């Protein structure tokens, strides 16, 4: 269920000694760099990258522009309209948390200050979030972190552990070697599920031709891999039952040893790999 957004109000003018200059429109390169910086820090901790969602970017940009035009800083308008509510009305189905800051045209200083604070770092580096939207206007920044509605667990680690447990129970009954979690396969699975949700397709190959195996290789996995998909389940139990019905041969294959799993908006990706 949606929770009250995080109130992260930092004025970086004094901290960074920067003067703001007016800009007519957000700099796409600044937004790209902000996302790259956050995902770079998450990667250092072995966390899945956050996926940009157009709806969250639009809401974040609208809020940053409104703060700039009306001269306030906060995670809600002066009338009390919270960004989390705006995201829901815009069509984002999931829990959101919000970070806002003031004082830098480029995101480096903003993110550096947030990462230096344990409370804010905890949210930027949380496994619970899969999505992000970023907006900026004249040195004012809005970051929206999103967790899809289908994720009702405490974090992604718990989801992965539950799926692993359920599949290993089936493999144990078949006297097969148990699987272990793979960070690389987990990253590839997360990227594929998020891409399916964002571009509204369902298949092991993206509309641009990228396969699950290619995603796994890009994430650093060196073995052979195969992807198994299901759409609609809202829990690990439902997902594993569905996958056993469509991909039992892969899930119970004697050669596979590693597992990666993720879900976004009811689109589940399980990647199985050999050593």
Give the Å distances, CA to CA, from 107 to 97, 198, 267: 18, 24, 32
With cut-offs at 50, 70 and 90, classify the pLDDT of residue 73: very high
pLDDT greater than 70 at residue 6: no
Can you tell me the distance from the alpha carbon of 153 to that of 238, in angstroms, rounded to the nearest whole number? Answer: 14
Position 154 scores a pLDDT of: 53
pLDDT digits (tens, 9 = 90+) for 109-126: 999 999 998 888 988 998
pLDDT greater than 50 at residue 3: no
| Mean pLDDT, range 188-207, rounded to an integer | 90
pLDDT, the chain, mean: 86
At which residue do the structure tokens 């509510």 appear?
85
Question: Is the sign of the CA dihedral 191, 193, 197, 203 positive or negative?
Answer: positive
Position 197 scores a pLDDT of: 80
Half-sphere exposure of 207 (CA within 13 A, CB side): 8
At which residue do the structure tokens 């899945």 appear?
48
Position 265 scores a pLDDT of: 73
pTM of the model: 0.55
Position 155 scores a pLDDT of: 67
pLDDT digits (tens, 9 = 90+) for 137-180: 999 999 999 987 655 455 678 889 999 999 999 999 999 999 99
Can you tell me the distance from the alpha carbon of 119 to that of 111, in angstroms, rounded to the nearest whole number? Answer: 13
| Mean pLDDT, range 74-78, rounded to an integer | 92
At which residue do the structure tokens 């806002």 appear?
100
With cut-offs at 50, 70 and 90, classify the pLDDT of residue 17: very low
Position 151 scores a pLDDT of: 52
């Amino acid at each position: 269920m949606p929770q009250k957004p995080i109130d992260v109000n930092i004025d970086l003018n004094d901290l960074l000694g920067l003067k703001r200059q007016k800009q007519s429109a957000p700099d796409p390169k600044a937004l790209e760099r902000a996302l790259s910086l956050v995902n770079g820090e998450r990667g250092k901790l072995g966390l899945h990258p956050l996926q940009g969602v157009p709806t969250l970017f639009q809401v974040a940009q609208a809020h940053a522009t409104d703060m700039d035009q009306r001269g306030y800083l906060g995670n809600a308008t002066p009338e009390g309209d919270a960004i989390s509510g705006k995201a829901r009305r815009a069509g984002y189905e999931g829990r959101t948390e919000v970070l806002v800051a003031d004082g830098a045209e480029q995101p480096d200083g903003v993110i550096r200050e947030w990462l230096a604070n344990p409370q804010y770092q905890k949210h930027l580096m949380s496994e619970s979030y899969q999505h992000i939207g970023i907006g900026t206007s004249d040195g004012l920044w809005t970051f929206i972190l999103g967790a899809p509605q289908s994720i009702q667990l405490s974090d992604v680690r718990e989801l992965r552990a539950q799926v692993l447990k359920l599949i290993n129970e089936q493999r144990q009954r078949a006297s097969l070697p148990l699987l272990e979690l793979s960070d690389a396969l987990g990253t590839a699975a997360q990227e594929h599920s998020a891409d399916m949700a964002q571009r509204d397709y369902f298949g092991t190959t993206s509309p641009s031709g990228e396969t699950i195996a290619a995603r796994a290789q890009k994430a650093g996995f060196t073995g052979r891999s195969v992807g198994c998909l299901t759409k609609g389940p809202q829990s690990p139990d439902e997902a594993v039952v569905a996958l056993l019905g469509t991909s039992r041969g892969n899930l119970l294959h004697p050669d596979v040893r590693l597992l990666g799993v993720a879900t976004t908006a009811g689109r589940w990706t399980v990647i199985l790999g050999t050593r």
